Amino acid sequence: MTDDGILQMSMRGLINFRIIASVIVILIFSVIIAVWQARVSVEKEVRSSISLAVQMLEFGFEQVSSGNEEKHAWFEKIATIQPARHLNISIEDTDNSETHQQTLYQNSTDNDTPLWFIKSVMADFLTHNYDVKIADGSVKTIFISADPMDEINEAWGETKAYFATIVLMLGFIFLTVNLVFNSMFKSVNAILAGLRQVQGGHFDFKLPQFKISEFDAIATQINGMTGSLKTAQQNNQALALHTMKIQENERQNMSRELHDEMGQSLTAIKAMAVTCQQPKTDVKGITASIIDICDHLAIVVRSMMKTLHPLSLSELGLSATLSELVGEWQRRNEKLVFDLEYDPSLEKLSDEITIHVYRIVQECLTNVVRHANASKVDILLKNEDGRVKLTVTDDGQGKQINPSGFGLLAMRERAENLGGHFQIKTMENGGVKVEVELPYWEDK
């Protein structure tokens, strides 16, 4: 089973556990409430039945006392009390020290009510007894005892119907919740499958639309993310190819310069040295030529070294190197005005940051000279809130800039790889503003 399958089962188990726990709690409270209501109802009904029976007996006593009725007629009077629910009625006849008990009515005890329910709702038995002296001298004792089994049986039937209804409702809710979560789990599995596709580098994969709005919003965000990753992947591939092409061009140019400049110069020096060994040779003139060739080679070597890495950056610092770079561009483009504003606190920057700052400024000035057709360039470099802020602004033809150009992509990659930000804006006057933010790291 996969990790997401384990997660799904654990979520399903947790949800079902909580639903079942909630159902059990509801049932427990329902049982308590139902038993309490049944107990109150049984007690009320029993008390009402006993009260009614007492009133009827008192009325019968009045009838017996007012006339000279016979014994059997008196029993007939008592027997006219219809068998009352929830009661056991019996008569004791005490005559000549002998006791005879006659039961006029007794409720049936046949029932299927469970014992726990009976014990829970059974009210205390209420017993009333009356001693009655009849005209013939005999004494009658009437016993009325409460027997709430009929009411308990009815309460049990109502309770069963009540619990059956609750169980059906809870079962329906449980089934509905599980159907909803099944649909949700299908959406979750589809999203997880999509994320696995993205993890595998398949950025063309798109999630479908979902009926649940929250999952559809997640799918939309994931599709947007995969689109951005696809674009970034294409840009990185193009930038990597462009970088390799630049490297090959630089190696080719370096090889050509080494062959054309240094190779030919070394050959000429060697030839002149051989000539110096001949008699009657103008050694002074030949040595002067060798010196000129060596000076030229020094210039070529410095130019090649500056192309590979500006030595002045580590020897003189960022400020001097940028000033030299701006001055070189100024000499090449006399009509273009360069304004460099530099924060002296940046001299403490680490070499890792300074080389990137230098290359970004170099690329910005190259773009301005080649494409902007500007008359002025402002370079602002400062330390603000512990971050290096670089701004390069020109007044040229900003609308013609290509935001997907390799130069801009290279600058963006430099900034973002260091944990910084790169942004390019078109100004209202048609110029371009490049804003770069880099971390401030000092040399240790």
Residue partners of 406: CB distance under 8 A and separation at least 6: 238, 239, 242
Q: Assess whether pLDDT exceeds 50 at residue 96.
A: no
> pTM of the prediction?
0.47
State which of 33-42, 100-109, 149-158, 329-338 shows the largest mean pLDDT. Answer: 329-338
Instruction: Quickly name the fold that domain 316-439 has.
Output: Heat Shock Protein 90 (3.30.565)
Phi then psi for residue 427, to 5 deg, are -80, 165
Tell whether the model's pLDDT for residue 215 goes beyond 70.
yes
What token pair was written down for 111? 């029932």
Residues 6+ apart with CB under 8 A from 361: 322, 325, 379, 381, 390, 392
Q: Which stretches of 258-317 are DSSP H helices?
A: 264-276, 283-308, 311-315
Condensed to tens digits (0 to 9), the pLDDT of residues 230-254 reads 887 777 777 777 777 777 777 777 7
pLDDT (average), residues 344-359 = 86
Question: Which residues does residue 112 pair with via DSSP β-bridges, in sequence order?
Answer: none
Instruction: With a cut of 50, say whether residue 129 has pLDDT above it.
Output: yes
Largest CA distance in the chain: 186
Report the pLDDT value the prediction gives residue 63, as an integer from 0 to 100: 58
Sequence ranges of the domains in the chain: 3-175, 316-439
Report the mean per-residue pLDDT for the chain: 77
Q: What are the residue ranges of helices labelled H in 309-393? A: 311-315, 318-332, 351-367
Q: What is the pLDDT averaged over residues 267-271? A: 84
